[in-house]
Amino acid sequence: MMADFQRSVPDAKSFLRRGPSILSRSRIDLWLLLPVLCIMGLGLVVLYSGAGASEEAVNKQLLRYGVALLGMLIMAHINLREIERFVPLFYVIGVLLLVAVLLFGVGAKGAQRWLQVFGMPRFQPSELLKLAVPLTVAWYLCGRNHPTSFGNTLVAFILVGIPVFLIAKQPDLGTALLIGASGLFVIFFGGLLWRYMMLAVLAGAAGLPVLWSFMHAYQKQRVMTFLDPESDPLGAGWNIIQSKIAIGSGGFTGKGWLQGTQSHLDFLPETHTDFIIAVLAEEFGFLGVLLLLFLYLFILIRGLIIAGKAQDPFSRMLAAGLTLTFFVYVVVNIGMVSGLLPVVGVPLPLVSYGGTSAVTLMLSIGMLMSIRAQRTSRRMRKV
């Protein structure tokens, strides 16, 4: 009888041969999806308050989240190695669209950042480069016999520099910095030699005076306001001062949902976009901000784990670059809202109101899931 029982119980290998789990077949990584959904949920709660209890704003954002999640799902099912040959074309199209923005773009608030074709809704081509640049740099470095040579490193920097320059001309310094960071992270994980890194740092420092001369007046004003916001408390320094008041007045547990005075009495600007974390801090306090930071940190750690376990250099560089760029989003937004960095107009990932940024970020999350699923499928084939 015992022998019959043992024969009826499958061993470990036969159990694993039954095939991957439902989640593995769907290529969805729960450890990435769950914190993303939590951030979205928290974002909708804060958005409702920051937008003045506007159900319309929440409904629009829900629709955008739906599109972003669909994009993530589609991207997760794409084998990035199979589309690698199309990466240069994606990059060229993105650069051409940036040139079109400078020539025929739609302007708003003193900046020319959008395209509108044949009456369709306008879109921001620079968002495409947040994916195209790290993809292209990873593709280029993986195709070289000596990716860390000076010539290859220089070409990689040029690939990053072209879209950064075009975006800075719009002007959109915040997006230019983020795209530059995404490319530089990939170069770093591609094996950038320390002497080249130091050379790049010195060149960047030497170029700061040149950069200052090319900056627009409002950009220079933002830097001066960052250094001394109290010099113009009712003008250029108003946003930062009111943001600090909102953050500090929230205390440990906050004033309560919909009870924020800085936002609801219109002292705090851009409460549903760039400065939305100040609303969170005022109404939910330090605990609310800590929860959000924990969720972001979870995504960062999970993304780096996926990068570390990637099966090939292309996937490894891409995953690390996308993950750290996501984290830079968080650092820059929180830094500028709290007065630690100049205001550059960077939204808080998956929390600030807006669709283009959310879709781009979720596509990058989908890429991470695709890289992780590729590793999982290879491991299961070996079992």
Question: Tell me: the pLDDT tens digits for 282-337?
Answer: 999 999 999 999 999 999 999 999 999 998 889 999 999 999 999 999 999 999 99
Residues 6+ apart with CB under 8 A from 26: 76
pLDDT digits (tens, 9 = 90+) for 109-127: 667 788 877 666 777 888 8
Domain boundaries, the chain: 30-102+122-378
- Residue 304: which of 293, 318, 291, 314 has the closest Cα? 318
Confidence (pTM): 0.86
Whole-Å CA distances, 233 to 220, 262, 344: 17, 15, 19
Between 368 and 169, the higher pLDDT residue: 368
Average pLDDT over residues 63-88: 91
Average pLDDT over residues 162-172: 89
Instruction: Specify which residues 108 forms β-bridges with.
Output: 111
Residue appearing with tokens 């939590």: 38
pLDDT band at 72 (very low <50, low <70, confident <90, very high): very high
pLDDT digits (tens, 9 = 90+) for 266-286: 888 888 888 999 999 999 999
- What tokens appear for 319 in the block? 């995953």
Euclidean distance between CA atoms 148 and 101, whole angstroms: 34
Pick the range with the lowest mean pLDDT from 129-138, 146-155, 159-168, 348-357. Answer: 146-155
CB 212 within 8 A of CB 222: no
pLDDT band at 54 (very low <50, low <70, confident <90, very high): confident
pLDDT band at 13 (very low <50, low <70, confident <90, very high): very low
pLDDT band at 24 (very low <50, low <70, confident <90, very high): low
